[in-house]
Structures are given as C-alpha cells and as structure tokens.
Structure 1
Amino acid sequence: MFTQILRRHGVEQDCVTDVAAAWDAFAEFLQLDIAGLDPTLGSDADGFIVQWGRRSWSDNRLILTFTRQLAITDVGDHDDSYPQPELWQLDLEMTFADAADLIGHAQLAVQDTGFTFAPTGPLRATALVDTWTETQQHAPVRAAWVATPASSRLSFECVC
C-alpha cells in the first residue's frame, strides 16, 4: 500500500528524488488503519519515528529514515498462554552523498524524533506536524529534506 501511495506522490521507493514528497506520502500512509494490531497495546501498537545519522552499512554516509512500527498479534503459536506481539517496521531509508550543508550531522545531540504513538486521525495529523517541525530544527536534517538522495530503499521487517 505504501508503494502505491509513494507513486501517487511521484516517488519511486528505490529512487527517491524528492524527500518532501516522500514525507507527504509517508504522512498519508500513517493515517491508514492497520488490521491485526495488538489490541492490548492500544495506540502503542502503531507508531512512527524519523531517524538520521551516519551508519556503517551506508559507507558512513548520511541516512534519513521514515519508520512506521506495528505490533502484530496474529502470528506465532496460537496455544501460547502468554502471546507476545511481533514488532514490524516499515522503513523508507534515504542515503545522501556528502555535501557541505549535510556536514555536522554527527555533532547533533539527537539522532531521531523519538517514537510517536498518536492514534490515526486528527491526533496523528498534529503529531506529524510536530515531528516535521522537530526535524527542521536541525540544520543538517533540514538540508537533507531538500537534497536529492543518492539512493533509497523500502523494507518491511520483523525487528523482534
């Protein structure tokens, strides 16, 4: 579904050229309700985070990642008396070539926005605006938001 939303916004998952359009698509995707989430966690079963920094797997190039995390319950052993949800993350990871305005990322005191678990609808819309505002307070992140990524990839993986 996210791939379809990206395309409607003119974005290809493996060739992002417009970070702002990718963010708009991500914000739209975050407003979709997902079936199969752990009901015991309430809104904590569906959250999102924006992360940035230099990572070894990207040849130490700057990465900006939009992540949606879901706690899924309908998996595993159905006879387990203490079933635990699996955490799945959908990541749109964008990697940037070094540029003067992207330098200084390592000196930032924070490397992410922290997870937000606001429920879909108006509360999530407000949380999305707050998250975008937070990212724009950091000059290297703000610069990445308007730069063209050197590469990008979309993944959906179980993280626990």
Structure 2
Amino acid sequence: MELFEAPWHKAASEGDAFIVEWGVWDWTGNRPAVSLGRLLAVNEIGDRQDPYWQPQYWKVELQACFAEDPAWADLHISGGGDSGFDHAAIGEPRADALAETRRFIDQEPILNAMWRSTPIGIEVMQERAD
C-alpha cells in the first residue's frame, strides 16, 4: 500500500501561519508601522479531486501606525523587516513559537520601541494572499 498526503492536508497545514512585519510604507502614510498577520487557507472552494486544486489563501492582519519619534531616529526602520511566516502546529508548538516571537520583538530595538508605544492608528484588514 502506498501512503500519500492529500494535497489539501498539506495546504491546510501550510496555510495556517503567523508573521510580524514592520517598516515605513506608502500605504501607512510613510509612518512607522507594525503588522501582526495570520495566514489562513480556505479549503471549501473548488473541486478537491482536481489534481491542480489549491485552497484560497487569505491574510488577516492588525496593523498599527505610529507617529515619528526622535528616539527612533537611529533605528533605521525605513527598509523594514519581517519575522517570516511561522507554520507551527496549533497547540503547544504554536504557543512556543509565539513565545519565541515575543522574545524576538523584545530584542529587536524598533519592534520593542513600537510595542511599548501608543499607536496613532490601528487597522484590521483581510486580503487574498495567493
């Protein structure tokens, strides 16, 4: 008997992830911003028997924008950065990954500064990510 993983099982596990992004972008009014995002795979659309079937991927994010702060001048955030998508399984692996992300935020100077600041605007968005 040959074992295989159905494409939607793999897609579902790869489609549940989180990411932290930060930077200064035109869509934030050129203000410093941090985004906490979650990637989700929607499996209910299309014919799963189709060998080329793929779920729809959606990103839901909370984006906080901040006023310029002279204390941040030396932190050079214009290029921005991100933590990369983390696909840890829900449960203890996800809790551990989130704890590691929190340690990363505490050690990254610009993220630490943003985390402890009051945003001037917060927006929740969702968009197709595929």
Alignment partners' CA distance in 1, 2:71 and 2:110: 6
- Report the identity percentage: 33
Q: Residues 36-47 of structure 1 correspond to what in structure 2 (within 5 A)? A: 38-47=8-17
1:153 aligns with 2:123: yes
1:88 aligns with 2:36: no
Residue 57 of structure 1 is matched in structure 2 by 27
Which of 77, 81, 88 matches 1:106? 77
Q: Deviations over 1:77-136 (max 9, x none)?
A: 66744211111011100000101233324377x611111000111110000010111122
Which runs of 5 or more structure 1 residues have no equivalent in the other structure?
1-37
Who wins on radius of gyration, i.e. which is larger?
2
The alignment's C-alpha RMSD in Å is 2.0
Alignment partners' CA distance in 1, 2:48 and 2:96: 37
AA matched with 1:69? L
Q: Residues 66-81 of structure 1 correspond to what in structure 2 (within 5 A)? A: 66-76=36-46, 80-81=50-51
Q: Deviations over 1:61-91 (max 9, x none)?
A: 1110000001222124667442111110111
Aligned-pair CA distance for 1:140 = 1.5
Count of aligned pairs: 122
Q: TM-score, normalised by structure 2?
A: 0.83
Which runs of 5 or more structure 2 residues have no equivalent in the other structure?
1-7
Change (3 A) 1:79 1:122: closer
Q: Deviations over 1:18-62 (max 9, x none)?
A: xxxxxxxxxxxxxxxxxxxx4233532200000000001112111
Kept after mapping to 1: 8 A contact 2:11/2:54: no
